[in-house]
Amino acid sequence: MAHGPAKGISRWLFTTNHKDIGTMYLWFSFAMFILGGAFAMIIRAELFQPGMQLVEPAFFNQMTTLHGLVMVFGAIMPSFVGLANWLIPMMIGAPDMALPRMNNWSFWILPPAFLMLASTLFMEGGAPAFGWTFYAPLSTTYAAPSVTFFIFSIHVLGLSSIMGSINIIATVMNMRAPGMTYMKMPLFVWTWLITAFLLVAVMPVLAGAVTMMLMDVHFGTSFFSAAGGGDPVLFQHIFWFFGHPEVYIIILPAFGVVSQIIPAFSRKPLFGYDSMVYATAAIAFLSFIVWAHHMYTVGMPVAGELFFMYATMLIAVPTGVKVFNWITTMWRGALSFETPMLFCIGFLVLFTIGGFTGLMLSIAPADFQYHDSYFVVAHFHYVMVAGAVFSMTAAVYFWLPKWCGKMYNETMGKTHFWISFIGFNITFFPQHFVGLAGMPRRIPDYSLQFADFNMMSSIGAFIYGASQIMFLYNVIATIVAGKPVSDDKVWDGAEGLEWTVATPAPYHTFETPPTIDPAHAHS
Amino acid sequence: MHGAIKKALAGGVVTALATAGSVALAASGGITMDDVNMSPGVTAVGQSIYDLHMWIFWICVVIGVVVFGVMFYSIFAHRKSKGAVPAQFHESTKVEIAWTVVPFLILIGIAIPATSTLLEIYDFDDAEMDILVTGYQWKWKYEYLTEDGENVSFFSNLSTSQTEIYNAEEKNEHYLLEVDEPVVIPVNTKVRFLVTANDVIHSWWVPELAVKKDAVPGFVNETATIAQKEGIYRGQCAELCGKDHGFMPIVVKVVSQEEYAEWIEGKQAEAAQVRELMAQTFTMDELMERGKAVYQRNCLACHGANGEGGVGTAIKGSAIATGELGGHLNTGVNGVPGTAMQAFGGIINDVEMAAVITYQRNAFGNNMGDMVQPIDVFNFKKG
């Protein structure tokens, strides 16, 4: 048996252990989730009633901007990287990640980057206030001086993501146990492998975009200024060439999680494994050729509109395949409804609704009415929150017993689910209505006909926000004083190598590769 | 399905969804379709978009009912607690092909009407009149481009008072959706909007005219509308454009052709009058009176009702307003780069500029005693 973890702070600072690093990613992302959530609470509190009550419009814009940036780059992405760190080596029978020192580095550059981003709040002129999409020239010529710090933190985040993805690609390609062929890998590993390729492809594009901004702000170039021969719309093309794959970077690992959990609680193998892999790859491919559907109103020629509309609509096909496969997995299974399964069913229903509104938004002519309205806000929160965050929550409940050897409180878990589910829908469902009725997004105040639904939305947001405290409590209570679990296989229906190691998972696993039964299908 | 039935059904479903689980709604009472759904508006294009929207909506509802129906049946019937024994089937190429092909066919059913509606929207030809719309932080400028070159142009500012926004006064019916000067267009006329911006990107959106077009600085986009019904239609800037993005509404007044002709004539006469005024010399009292009005419209929000400052610096006793005239003119005409103080030289005319500078130098106890004439502003701008 190899040595255990070092003692004290140096364990965390210098660790190269995939489990420690995974744990740090998960806690860090939860801290960011709380921070981003706090920004959201300020937004919803200001929007509780018409009129300006709590904050000034300039500060409101800083809140919407930071909420988006922190949630996307600080909460959702690192949380799935944390999950990948914990699970990928255990799922493919590897002792650790392929590049453990780089793994340490890719985590530890994140906290300073976010500290820097958060510190912009206290700078003269305030934090970035141009939305998480930071369209030029609002984010260049017209931005507060803190934009330079924003650019630097984006660079660092990008660096962290690229290193993390290289590590995942290297691990999956080189460290699989003998007999673990590609088409035997758990779907979570597959979705992450594809996600990692997306990240390596588009993060440099984002870095390019912010570098061009830096040049425009400080070095007299005019990439995004028509006055100097540039084009503000160029920024949007570059940003969304990154930004659209980015939303699949967020959702594909979530698909992977759901594909692990639904079979476990259906006690039945995942239906259509091969088609799930192909559908994921198809979605990843399509994500590169649909970016301008975020830009239907910028004044594209009609041929461009048609191309991006048709390409975007196509995404519905592989996404539909995934949903159908999940439901067929449940069909004639023996279902039980522990907390992880509840969150996955919640995901299935709400993500599908988000998919429907996504299909509606893909239709260019209709998008002329939906674009930049609250309908869009509702749409992407159905995919981001009920998609990514719900599946992440399911993952924590599902693997937590394996990680810490203790069982969470099931009643509290289920209560957390129901309050989240109800709170989420009260928050975001009415936003479809105000959006269709004409309320633009990113406004600190609104006209009177939107008052009722906004108040409802705010109440829902407070409920949803508060329910996350229960989640935090449940996780900590489990780690500190949960009921011990000793079965390797915590859930009777769970399949996969991570359930063959001891519970709690020892500090080092698979120091000698496991034997994979060649006749055994994928997990 | 018949249009009326379709609408009623849509109303039913949407309203039911809206009411579900919503205590606040129950208390507020009457919800109309306009509160929860897209408006077909007053244009043929708007009607096409609305029909398309409802067509996709119903397709989604049907798919949703089938998919969720199967899922909930499974949740109900295939429970472990009911003693369900799991089947072990896990693949079927036939089924996979079926649920790849069927959605594809449904998409074709959506793409065809979507394409024709898009082409309908992109028809900007044969416009009977052109209006140049320019987005500013945070107001809109409208310029009627006439063939005789007698263009009419004006700015359209939010007219909701700060006291309403900051809750010191009750909010009126059109809170945040009202302007000092609406853009006026004739009914049943194809109006082409040439949309651009002066600073950052804005987006000109009037839902009931089915028009949304980004205003990009340095580029001119085009879009068109034919309003089929007289009335007042309200919209807002749809692209985040900085601090007061939420406070730059759009109001379009659609009037009869005769009324429009009368209005544009009036505006042209007004423009001629301004040109005449430019050549005049005003007395101190006249400048002060005009200046006060200009101040209240353009300066008050930042500099305070008594020049005491606020977002902007104080004018009362300020070094600029009590300093050299040239410096004061420069600040007014060119603004202060890097601050919220805009260059007003292109926003207010020379008469207004002369008046407001004079006002600032002689109001709030500044009592400089000097005045500026329109010709001075004109000469200053010429350099």
Domain boundaries, chain B: 1-31, 38-121, 129-275, 279-382
Task: Give the confidence band of B297 by pLDDT, cuts at 50, 70, 90.
Answer: confident
Widest distance between CA atoms in chain B = 97
Q: For A437, which of B36, B119, B176 is closest by C-beta distance?
A: B36
- Burial (0-12, 13-18, 19+ Cβ within 10 Å), A55: middle
Tokens describing residue A90: 């255990």
Which residues, including other chains, have CB under 8 Å from residue A156's CB and lie 6 or more apart? Answer: A109, A110, A112, A113, A116
Measure the CA–CA gap between B220 and B314, rounded to whole angstroms: 38
Region A84-109: mean pLDDT is 96
Distance to chain B for A300, nearest Cα, Å: 9
- Residue positions of A annotated with a catalytic role: 67, 96, 132, 160-161, 244, 246, 248, 259, 293-294, 319, 322, 441
Query: Which residues on chain B are in Cβ contact (under 8 Å) with A447?
Result: 174-177
pLDDT tens-digit map of B199-251:
999 999 999 999 999 999 999 999 999 999 999 999 999 999 999 999 999 99
Region B143-161: mean pLDDT is 86
pLDDT value of residue B24: 43
pLDDT tens-digit map of A405-415:
999 999 999 99
Residue of chain B nearest A522, judged by CA positions: B90
What SS3 state is found at B92? Answer: coil
User: Residue A390's closest CA among A328, A335, A347?
Assistant: A347
pLDDT value of residue A3: 65
In chain B, the N- to C-terminal Cα span, in Å, equals 69
Q: B228, B187 in Cβ contact below 8 A?
A: yes
Query: Which residues on chain B are in Cβ contact (under 8 Å) with A455?
Result: 24
Enter the CATH code of domain A9-219+230-499.
Answer: 1.20.210.10
Q: B222 pairs with which residues across the strands?
A: B194
DSSP label of B177: S
Asked if the Cβ–Cβ distance from A452 to B25 is below 8 Å, we say yes
Mutate to test the interface with B, among A445, A462, A491, A492 (most CBs of B within 10 A): A445
Measure the CA–CA gap between A421 and A415, rounded to whole angstroms: 10
Asked if the Cβ–Cβ distance from B243 to A310 is below 8 Å, we say no
Task: Give the confidence band of A519 by pLDDT, cuts at 50, 70, 90.
Answer: low
Region A87-100: mean pLDDT is 96
pLDDT value of residue B30: 63
Residue of chain A nearest B214, judged by CA positions: A298
Tokens describing residue B121: 């929207």
pLDDT value of residue B343: 80
Measure the CA–CA gap between A486 and B69, rounded to whole angstroms: 38
Q: Which CATH class is domain B279-382?
A: mainly alpha
User: Would the pLDDT of A523 be above 90?
Assistant: no
Region A157-176: mean pLDDT is 96
Tokens 């909420």 locate to A67
Tokens describing residue B85: 């024994």
pLDDT value of residue B279: 81
Chains A & B: contacts with CB separation below 8 Å:
296
| Pairing verdict, β B129-136 and B190-197 | parallel
Long-range Cβ pairs for the range A155-160 (8 Å, 24+): A155/A207, A155/A210, A155/A211, A156/A109, A156/A110, A156/A112, A156/A113, A156/A116, A157/A73, A157/A110, A157/A113, A158/A203, A158/A204, A158/A206, A158/A207, A159/A106, A159/A109, A160/A106, A160/A107, A160/A109, A160/A110, A160/A113
Measure the CA–CA gap between A187 and A180, rounded to whole angstroms: 13
Q: For B78, which of A299, A331, A345 is closest by C-beta distance?
A: A331
Q: Give whole-number Cα distances, A452 to A377, A420, A466, B249, in Å.
A: 17, 21, 21, 21
pLDDT value of residue B338: 63
Tokens describing residue B218: 């340095």
Containing H/E element for A164? helix A147-174
Asked if the Cβ–Cβ distance from B213 to A297 is below 8 Å, we say yes
Residue type present at position A13: L
Measure the CA–CA gap between A213 and A140, rounded to whole angstroms: 6
Q: A7, A495 in Cβ contact below 8 A?
A: no
Residue, of B278 and B354, whose pLDDT is higher: B354
Query: Which residues on chain A are in Cβ contact (under 8 Å) with B174?
Result: 447
DSSP label of A74: I
Region A293-304: mean pLDDT is 96
What homologous superfamily does CATH list for B129-275? Answer: Cupredoxins -  blue copper proteins (2.60.40.420)
pLDDT value of residue B7: 52
Measure the CA–CA gap between A208 and A234, rounded to whole angstroms: 12
User: Would the pLDDT of B28 be above 70?
Assistant: no
Region B109-119: mean pLDDT is 96
| Pairing verdict, β B183-186 and B250-255 | parallel
Task: Give the confidence band of B18 by pLDDT, cuts at 50, 70, 90.
Answer: very low
Long-range Cβ pairs for the range A492-496 (8 Å, 24+): A492/A267, A493/A263, A493/A264, A493/A265, A493/A266, A493/A267, A493/A268, A494/A264, A494/A398, A495/A263, A495/A264, A495/A269, A495/A523, A496/A91, A496/A186, A496/A260, A496/A523
> HSE on the CB side for A187, CA within 13 Å?
30
Query: Which residues on chain B are in Cβ contact (under 8 Å) with A269?
Result: 88, 90
Residue type present at position A492: D
User: Residue A221's closest CA among A145, A292, A137?
Assistant: A137
Query: Which residues on chain B are in Cβ contact (under 8 Å) with A495?
Result: none
Region A84-97: mean pLDDT is 96
User: Would the pLDDT of A65 be above 90?
Assistant: yes
Region B355-372: mean pLDDT is 90
Picking from A490-504, B12-26, B182-196, which range would have the lowest pLDDT averaged per residue?
B12-26
Tokens 């959605």 locate to B103
Q: B158 pairs with which residues across the strands?
A: B179
Tokens 């500090």 locate to A507
Which residues, including other chains, have CB under 8 Å from residue B383's CB and lie 6 or more apart? Answer: none
DSSP label of A136: T
DSSP label of A143: S
pLDDT value of residue A522: 62
Distance to chain A for B320, nearest Cα, Å: 23
Measure the CA–CA gap between B181 and A430, rounded to whole angstroms: 33
Distance to chain A for B148, nearest Cα, Å: 29
Region B165-192: mean pLDDT is 94
Neighbours of B101 (CB within 10 A): 11
pLDDT tens-digit map of B308-348:
887 788 898 888 888 888 889 989 888 887 677 878 887 88
Q: Which fold would CATH assign to domain B38-121?
A: Helix Hairpins (1.10.287)
Region A281-287: mean pLDDT is 97
pLDDT tens-digit map of A211-263:
999 999 999 999 999 989 999 999 999 999 999 999 999 999 999 999 999 99
Asked if the Cβ–Cβ distance from B90 to A52 is below 8 Å, we say no
Residue type present at position B214: D
**Exposure string for B263-294, b = 16+ CB within 10 A, e = fewer:** bbeebbeebeeeeebbeeebeeeebbebbeeb
User: Would the pLDDT of A347 be above 90?
Assistant: yes
Region A257-275: mean pLDDT is 96
DSSP label of B246: G
